[in-house]
Amino acid sequence: MKRVLLTGAAGFVGPYLIREMKAGGWDVIATKLPSESIEPVEGVEIRDLDVMKPSDLDCLSEVQPDCVIHLAGISSVKFSWQNPDLTMDVNIKGVSHLLESIRKMREKPRVLLIGSSEIYGLSQKRGVLLEDMPAEPANYYAISKYAQEKMGFMLGNAYGIQVISTRSFNHIGPGQNDTFVVPSFCRQIAEIEAGLRNPVILVGNLNVSRDFTDVRDIVRAYRFLTEEGKPGTLYNVGSGKAVHLDDLLKKLISMSTRQISVRVDPSRFRPADMPYVQAGIDRLQRDTGWAPVHELEDTLRETLDSWREQVQREMEQKT
Ligand code: A2R
């Protein structure tokens, strides 16, 4: 059985990826920061691994994975504006520590680096984003992910390691932290329904379009890339469709039992925001045969339901 080691597996994507890789017949070793926890999955070994500590990566020689999927990192644009040093450290040094460690191994695992559509940045005109378009990263997070990608390919070439990198577009689903847009809307709706706040949703800039994909489709793309992606290649991972944020919010509000109005809160605007984001996914589809299967409406409904349950749990804990 082939073996995969995941870094940063205690985040939003990790638990979905653990299940996807396992269901795809992989032996999975999931790693996390010591302070985090992962719900146990039968047959999956869980280890502590901080990518900022090069000695933690010595475990790779012991585990001898066929592939490493690198999820570990700072994943929020907002957090990156508030914590630029940490973002640069974790996202850039993390990958160099990983590849320096793999360099010492006789059997070198293939590496899938998880990057971001934020790398395309502000310079893009309205239209579909393709992998060979110029990158113009416009925030600390995007710069750090661009450096991760470049470092990954540079060291892959230098050390003979098969490196594949993604530019992943917005992914959504139950379990995502409410600093991201869809969970933020869902939490507010759930709190309104529970009578915890007035029936007004506070929003940032709604006049943008984003490419949203169900996290379960995203992790299936990661498995397909692990199995069939071409080394040295960059792949967009997204649905290939852009949705206007205002329309997405209307869909969510229409799923609520309450009459809800919307108020723009300028403090929620980002210092720099891309107006229109849509993934071109021909390369991913051509090389792996992947296509998303989850409908946006279903994902939104499941995410909203998960927030209704979460808000109920929080209320029960308080009483
Ligand atoms: O920042 P935390 O405490 O939530 O921990 C994150 C973890 N992480 C690390 N893991 C190992 N060594 C480190 N030095 C380190 N610093 C942070 O990586 C978190 O548990 C995990 C990343 O998960 P999320 O932040 O939930 O991101 P998500 O949505 O699972 O995305 C996975 C990857 C990220 O690299 C994104 O930038 C990319 O996909 O889109």
φ/ψ of 109, rounded to 5, equals: -70, 155
Q: Do residues 124 and 186 share a domain?
A: no
Residues 166 and 178 in one domain: no
pLDDT of residue 125: 63
Could you tell me the distance, in angstroms and rounded to a whole number, from the CA of residue 259 to the centre of ligand 1? 36
Shared-domain flag, residues 146 and 201? no
The pLDDT score that the predictor gives to residue 265 is: 85
What is the C-alpha to C-alpha distance for residues 237 and 231, in angstroms, rounded to an integer? Answer: 16
Statement to judge: residues 29 and 46 lie in one domain: yes
- Assigned domain for 135 exists: yes
**Is 71 within 8 Å of 6 (Cβ atoms)?**
yes
19: tokens are 């299940």
Kindly state whether residues 224 and 313 are assigned to the same domain: no
Regarding whether 196 and 312 lie in a shared domain, the answer is yes
**What sign does the dihedral 39-101-147-223 (CA atoms) show?**
negative
Q: Are 237 and 284 in contact (CB under 8 A)?
A: yes
In ligand 1, the atom with minimum distance to the C-alpha of 35 is: 3
Tell me the H-state helices in 24-117: 59-63, 77-82, 84-88, 94-103
- Our mutation pick for probing the ligand 1 site, out of 13, 177, 216, counting the most ligand atoms within 8 A of Cβ, is 13
- Supply the CATH number for residue 311's domain: 3.90.25.10
pTM over the 0.85 mark: yes
Calculate helix-pair angle for 296-318, 181-193, nearest 10 degrees: 50
Residues 62 and 206 in one domain: no
Question: How many domains are there within the chain?
Answer: 2
**8 C-alpha to center of ligand 1: Å?**
5
- Report which ligand 1 atom has the smallest distance to the Cα of 10: 20
Q: Ligand 1: which of 5, 53, 74, 77 to mutate, most ligand atoms within 8 Å of CB? A: 74
User: Rounded to an integer, what distance in angstroms lies between the CA atom of residue 296 and that of residue 124?
Assistant: 25
Distance CA 40, CA 83 (A): 31
Strand, helix or coil at 205? coil
Residue 83: give the domain boundaries.
Answer: 3-171+213-237
DSSP state letter for 118: G
**Residues in the ligand 1 pocket, defined by CB under 6 Å:** 7-8, 10-14, 33, 36, 50-52, 71-73, 75, 90, 114, 116, 168
Q: Compute, in angstroms, the gap from residue 32 CA to the centroid of ligand 1.
A: 9
Separation of alpha carbons 60 and 47, rounded Å: 11
The atom number, within ligand 1, closest to the CA of 51 reads 12
Distance 71 CA to ligand 1 centre (A): 6
319 residues of the chain, pLDDT tens digit each: 999 999 999 999 999 999 999 999 999 999 999 999 999 999 999 999 999 999 999 999 999 999 999 999 999 988 999 999 999 999 999 999 999 999 999 999 999 999 999 999 876 666 799 999 999 998 999 999 999 999 999 999 999 999 999 999 999 999 999 989 999 999 999 999 999 999 999 998 899 899 999 999 999 999 999 999 999 999 999 999 999 999 999 999 999 989 999 999 887 776 666 788 899 999 999 999 999 999 999 999 999 999 999 999 999 998 8
Examine residue 186 and state whether it is found in any structural domain, yes or no: yes
pLDDT at 124: 64
